[in-house]
Amino acid sequence: MRRTLMTLTALLVLSASGLAAQTKLPDTPQGRLTAAFLAAVNAKDEMALARFQEANFSQAALDRRPTDERLSKNRELRELGTLTLVTVVSSSATAVTLTITASNEPGVTLTLIVGFTGGDSPKIDTISLTA
């Protein structure tokens, strides 16, 4: 019985430490771009976010959505309030998936998927935000 309790306690500690590690974005180009995207959205500066997109989105992503449409989507993002990372669901060379909360949507957990181009200097290629 005592051995079973020790084993269960050890498993709980390991599980908790694994969960804590998932609340920080990875120190990879994709993780850093995702963190910078969240910071740009949270800055609430429309032009700063537009400049971030011009510098860090793939040309294909920029071509898919004209500037005025991107600015409209940016306003929608800002209306959510401050975005806060809850967990990193997955991270790879092609996508980072997060669960986040938005300060103006209490009690709602959102899924943010940031897709990337390949290569040594990845760019953001897609953004998907769902409830």
CB 23 within 8 Å of CB 86: yes
For residue 127, what are the contacts with CB-CB under 8 A and spacing of at least 6? 37, 112, 113, 114, 115
pTM for the complete prediction?
0.81
What average pLDDT does range 4-10 have in this prediction?
37
pLDDT (0 to 100) of residue 3: 46
Mean pLDDT of 108-130: 96
Q: Which pLDDT tens digit goes with each residue over 8-41?
A: 333 333 344 444 447 899 999 999 999 999 999 9
The upper half-sphere exposure of residue 102, i.e. CA atoms within 13 Å in the direction of its Cβ, equals 17
Q: Are 128 and 36 in contact (CB under 8 A)?
A: no
Four-point Cα dihedral 15, 116, 122, 54, nearest 10: -120
Q: How many CB atoms lie within 10 A of CB 71?
A: 15
Q: Render pLDDT for 44-81 as a digit per residue (tens, 0 to 9).
A: 898 999 999 999 999 999 999 998 999 899 999 999 99
